Structure 1
Amino acid sequence: MDAGAAATFEKLFGHPARVVARAPGRVNLIGEHTDYNGGFVLPMAIPQYTQVELRPRGDRTVRAFSTNVGEQAGVQEFVLGQETPGRGWLDYVQGVTLVLRREGFTFEGFDVRITSQVPVGSGLSSSAALDVCLLRGLREAFSLPLEDVRLAVLGQKVENDFVGAPVGVMDPMACHLADGGAALFLDTRSLSYERVPLPAGVEPVVINSGVAHNHAAGDYRTRRAECERAAELLGVPQLRDLTEADLPRLNALPDPLGRRARHVLTEDARVLATVEALRTGDLAALGPLMYASHASQRDDYQVSVPEIDMLVELALNEKDVLGARLTGGGFGGSIVALARTGTGASVAQRIAQAYSKRSGRTATVLVP
């Protein structure tokens, strides 16, 4: 922890922090809306991270401060065992303590200061980064016997059970276990994972559209319910259980359930094909897979927006971009692209500038 952060913590709470923990945001290369359907995903970490500084208090009170909501919000408090939803960003802190206690972990109150570089509503898992880094900090501060996969699963429970966002397990798994040099190939049913390095010839590009989304809002929840209903009508536990032979059956489903199921079935296949292309260095295969993924999200899953489509179209016009797609839950957020190594920064700046001229919005280049 740098001297400035240490001084700020002490000024806020009257004593120095004892533990510092970080967790990165994540970008999903491919495999969107497959995680809550038991399927495959391929995220990787981004340089932007969330950090918590904390100190045990010795009582039952939690005092929390977030630099991202402004000084006027001040220090917020709650008592362990009296967590109450509806308090905005504090719900993530309350959700972590509630879930840990329900899982049988014992710990005291604490003071915590939160800072984050991961833009909220960008499709880059700002909330999962907060859940994970707070869980990491509490694990260290109170010596909690919490192994890595379980920590990530508890991060998902925070969002599902307390915040009210029906997200899958990919985000906390990626924020906890992924890194920036390799993609995390994750089977969200078994929670088995493998780090798959990117070939030397490509580098990731991430551009935030400036259109924010909210996973706790209705559209994301509706998509999940549609998938569950489609699986029920098809007689399978989850859409993950479909195979290519089932594609004709999807046409018999009422609209839009058939299109939702088709996206999940074909997206799972695209993840597996992308992993194989990364392993073999088949760069030519990556672009068509990414663009097909975006088209499926736009047309079958209907989670894209005009601004995101514009960014993908601009990326398509760049000769050094292999492929691009919407990343994250949709309804705004960011795109991810794969560019030829050494071209990412210049390509991203051209796309962002052209986007701003055409849309009137400001795009932010997050990677590189």
Structure 2
Amino acid sequence: MAGDARTFEALFGSAPAVRARAPGRVNLIGEHTDYNGGYVLPMAIPQETRVELAPRDGREVRAWSANLPGGRIDSYVLGEERRGRGWLDYVQGVTVVLAGDGHALRGFDVAFRSDVPLGSGLSSSAALEVSLLRGLREAYGLRLDDVALALAGQRAEAGFVGAPVGVMDQLASSLADARSALFIDTRTLAHERIPLPPAVELVVISSGVSHAHAGGDYRVRRAECERAADLLGVNQLRDLSPADVPRAMSLPEPLGRRVRHVVLENARVLEAVEALRRGDVPGLGALLDASHASQRDDYEVSVPEIDLLVDLARAERDVVGARLTGGGFGGSIVALARAGSGAGVAARVVEAYARRSGRAGRVLVPRG
């Protein structure tokens, strides 16, 4: 971090007063359930966003990111935030939400460094928001517990940036660790860490196909769920059970299939929690496989490159299950592999993927 501090001082003319960090996340199972009030089961990954921050006089915010070319410092004035400034909107969104909640801020200088890959379904935006909020909490003594901090990040992204995300990403970045699955009820915000069985390890591979949540098909899927809930007379699809699926299938296409995915995915998360508690590795793997099929066929958020990665992973004898993770339309896969086999599995899958797709996949977990 000494090198980071020297860079900060060169950029802003003073040393950082506060350092904070937050991890990206991988979702083990429970996709597109969070904005429907359902259950999710994410974990932290080793990749993280780091923040250095120093309060300053006045109301100007100056922000820099090591991940952007050119080394430009962007700035804005607190109380005068305006959308449409690219990555800076995530910073602006955080200060808008904090001000709206009555938290007093002065200006500040902030520098970001991140190795959470953008557009890979691993919550790079949530890691930025949570790391910034942690830094501001420390710098200004804000009264925010870890759940309230996550909710502030989600509101910044959904309300200011305009990406209609649920609360899973920020809760995972704020609360999860890398050896336990974080079981979250996104309606009540109840959460529990459940350790992975020692017999397995995670493999996470990026497809090299980027996605964006601020528009496009992700937004369409959320609107379809809201319409289906309205037609079925419930507040959210969380209010339905598997017994309601036949009734849902009478809805106009494709709403029935969207409902079927969400309802059965919620059931799969609950089954996965029990499988984790029992140490039932084959059962857990089968749930991951079923989740991917549902995302591909009923929710239609997979793409050919992701399907290829999943198939290649499943062909490995040490893999017990694999699925698309994240919002879809690109991004990454998560696989469960026998303990000690993950690095070899990942290397072989990426090599075969490059040969068959012409794309360069990237092994994110296990970290080399």
Q: TM-score, normalised by structure 2?
A: 0.99
State how far apart, in whole Å, the 2-side matches of 1:364 and 1:329 are: 18
Aligned to 1:210: 208
State how far apart, in whole Å, the 2-side matches of 1:193 and 1:58 are: 39
Cα-Cα RMSD: 0.6
Aligned to 2:87: 89
The aligned amino acid for 2:192 is E
Aligned to 1:230: 228
Deviation for aligned residue 1:302: 0.3
Q: SS of the counterpart of 1:107?
A: coil
Residues 289-308 of structure 1 aligned to structure 2 (within 5 Å): 289-308=287-306
The count of residues paired between Structure 1 and Structure 2 equals: 366
Aligned to 2:64: 65
Q: Deviations over 1:69-102 (max 9, x none)?
A: 11x2510110000000100000011111011001
State how far apart, in whole Å, the 2-side matches of 1:290 and 1:88 are: 34
Residues 33-44 of structure 1 aligned to structure 2 (within 5 Å): 33-44=32-43
State how far apart, in whole Å, the 2-side matches of 1:108 and 1:291 are: 49
The aligned amino acid for 1:117 is D
The aligned amino acid for 1:169 is V
Aligned to 2:13: 14
Deviation for aligned residue 1:4: 0.8
State how far apart, in whole Å, the 1-side matches of 2:200 and 2:29 are: 15
State how far apart, in whole Å, the 2-side matches of 1:181 and 1:58 are: 42
Give the unaligned 5+ runs of structure 2.
Answer: none
Q: Deviations over 1:102-132 (max 9, x none)?
A: 1110011000001100000000000000000
Q: Deviations over 1:187-218 (max 9, x none)?
A: 00000000000001000000000000000022
State how far apart, in whole Å, the 2-side matches of 1:52 and 1:283 are: 37
Q: Is structure 2 residue 263 aligned with structure 1 residue 265?
A: yes
Q: Is structure 2 residue 127 aligned with structure 1 residue 129?
A: yes
State how far apart, in whole Å, the 2-side matches of 1:288 and 1:45 are: 22
Aligned to 2:331: 333
Deviation for aligned residue 1:184: 0.1
Q: Is structure 2 residue 62 aligned with structure 1 residue 48?
A: no
State how far apart, in whole Å, the 1-side matches of 2:108 and 2:243 are: 54
Aligned to 2:357: 359
Q: Deviations over 1:288-324 (max 9, x none)?
A: 1101100000000000000000000001100100100
Aligned to 2:24: 25
State how far apart, in whole Å, the 1-side matches of 2:213 and 2:96 are: 20
Q: SS of the counterpart of 1:64?
A: strand
The aligned amino acid for 2:272 is T
Residues 44-193 of structure 1 aligned to structure 2 (within 5 Å): 44-70=43-69, 72-193=70-191
Residues 246-257 of structure 1 aligned to structure 2 (within 5 Å): 246-257=244-255
Deviation for aligned residue 1:235: 0.7
Q: SS of the counterpart of 1:265?
A: helix
State how far apart, in whole Å, the 1-side matches of 2:234 and 2:3 are: 55
The aligned amino acid for 1:196 is I
The aligned amino acid for 1:141 is A
State how far apart, in whole Å, the 2-side matches of 1:278 and 1:148 are: 25
Q: Taking every aligned residue pair, what percent have the same amino acid on both sides?
A: 68
State how far apart, in whole Å, the 2-side matches of 1:284 and 1:316 are: 13
State how far apart, in whole Å, the 1-side matches of 2:2 and 2:39 are: 42
Q: Deviations over 1:124-169 (max 9, x none)?
A: 0000000000000000000001111111111110111110100000
Deviation for aligned residue 1:65: 0.3
Q: TM-score, normalised by structure 1?
A: 0.99
State how far apart, in whole Å, the 2-side matches of 1:3 and 1:27 are: 29
State how far apart, in whole Å, the 2-side matches of 1:125 and 1:278 are: 24
Deviation for aligned residue 1:227: 0.2
Q: SS of the counterpart of 2:103?
A: coil
The aligned amino acid for 1:364 is R
Deviation for aligned residue 1:58: 2.0
Give the unaligned 5+ runs of structure 1.
Answer: none
Q: SS of the counterpart of 2:219?
A: helix
Q: Deviations over 1:227-263 (max 9, x none)?
A: 0000001111100010121111012100000000000
Q: SS of the counterpart of 1:108?
A: coil
State how far apart, in whole Å, the 2-side matches of 1:119 and 1:10 are: 26
Q: SS of the counterpart of 1:255?
A: coil
Q: SS of the counterpart of 1:21?
A: strand
State how far apart, in whole Å, the 1-side matches of 2:221 and 2:71 are: 34
Q: SS of the counterpart of 2:48?
A: strand
The aligned amino acid for 1:363 is G
State how far apart, in whole Å, the 1-side matches of 2:281 and 2:249 are: 33
